[in-house]
Amino acid sequence: MIRRLGLALASVLLVLTAGCTTGEQPALANTSWKLTGWAESTPPPANLTMTTRFEAGELNGSAGINTYAGTFVSEVDGSLTIRLGPMTLMAGPEADMKAESIFIDRLGAARGYRINGSTLVLTDADRHDSLTYARG
C-alpha cells in the first residue's frame, strides 16, 4: 500500500513539474547585441545603431550617437543590475538625441534579462519587456 502511494505521489509530481524549467539563463559575459526594439510607441530610429557588449562585469556600446560604458552583474536566474558610467558627449539632431536618451534610461533601469536563441530581452523592475536585441 505504501509503495503504491509512493508511486502515485511520484506520478503526480511528474505531471505537475512537466514542462517546468529551472529558469536559468545563459551568461551575458562575452556577448554582443544590437537593439531591434523597445517598449515605446515608436520603434527605435532606423538611422541609429544602438548596441551593448557585455564583457566580464563590464558593458559598453553605442547609444546611437554617443558611446557609453558601465558595469553589470547578472545571475543565472535572469536578474540584472547595470551601473552606467562614462559616456561621450557628442551632439546630434534633436530626435536622435531623444531616442538615445530613451535607450540609455531603459538600459540603466534594466533589472532582468532572458536570452532565447539569438534574442536578448532586458526587462524593467516590473518585469515588463523594455529593450529587445538581436545577436550582433
Count the domains in the chain. 1
Amino acid 22: pLDDT: 45
Amino acid 2: pLDDT: 53
Which of 38, 58, 55 has its CA nearest to residue 99?
A: 38
CATH of residue 95 = 2.40.128.270
Residue at 3 is within a domain: no
Are the beta carbons of 104 and 72 closer than 8 angstroms?
no
Are the beta carbons of 52 and 61 closer than 8 angstroms?
yes
Amino acid 5: pLDDT: 41
Residue at 51 is within a domain: yes
Residue at 50 is within a domain: yes
Range of the domain at 46: 23-135
Residue at 43 is within a domain: yes
Residue at 124 is within a domain: yes
Residue at 115 is within a domain: yes
Query: In whole angstroms, what separates CA 74 from the centre of its chain?
Result: 10
Amino acid 6: pLDDT: 41
Give tens-digit pLDDT for 32-69: 999 999 999 999 999 999 999 999 999 999 999 999 99
Residues in the chain predicted with pLDDT less than 50, given as ranges, are 4-22
Residue at 17 is within a domain: no
User: Rounded to whole angstroms, how far apart are CA atoms 36 and 82?
Assistant: 20
Residue at 15 is within a domain: no
Amino acid 136: pLDDT: 84
